[in-house]
């Protein structure tokens, strides 16, 4: 499986158009691969959960970074983008700062490769990457 854009669930990567595609119920910012973002720094936050990941993404967005956020759960991802854009911390984010969501399971190497490819296709480059992911795998102490 490939990386999908949270807005419409369309699979990206192998053969699909790169970058997120917006539709009417999109909560991310519409950014076309040809938009000139070459002078804007870009941050990718993988594991953009409701705690640390959102705080990190919000901080970079407030500093003017085009911000790509990625996580497994598409619906939670839409909520995260809304939270960052509405900036519940009280400091406004400029309207021209893109916040672009991607649905990606970081446990799958192919999805991570596709994620990087698609972020670079859409935003032009990546200056900062934050991997805020963890896993809780339980194993018996004695088998």
Give the pLDDT of residue 128: 97
d(CA 104, CA 101): 10
Distances (CA, A) of 47 to 23, 103, 107, 127, 137: 24, 10, 11, 17, 17
Residues 21-80 have pLDDT tens digits of 333 344 566 665 546 677 899 999 999 988 899 999 999 999 999 999 999 988 888 889
């Amino acid at each position: 499986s490939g990386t999908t854009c949270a807005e419409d669930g369309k699979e990206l990567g192998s053969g699909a158009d790169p970058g997120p595609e917006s539709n009417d119920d999109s909560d991310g910012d519409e950014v076309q691969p040809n938009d000139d973002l070459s002078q804007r720094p870009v941050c990718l936050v993988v594991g953009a959960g409701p705690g640390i990941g959102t705080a990190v993404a919000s901080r970079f967005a407030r500093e003017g970074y085009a911000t790509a956020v990625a996580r497994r759960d598409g619906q939670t991802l839409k909520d995260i983008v809304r939270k960052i854009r509405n900036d519940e911390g009280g400091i406004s984010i400029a309207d021209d700062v893109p916040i672009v969501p991607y649905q990606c399971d970081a446990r799958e190497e192919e999805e991570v490769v596709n994620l990087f490819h698609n972020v670079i296709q859409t935003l032009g480059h990546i200056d900062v990457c934050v991997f805020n992911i963890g896993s809780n795998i339980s194993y018996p102490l004695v088998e």
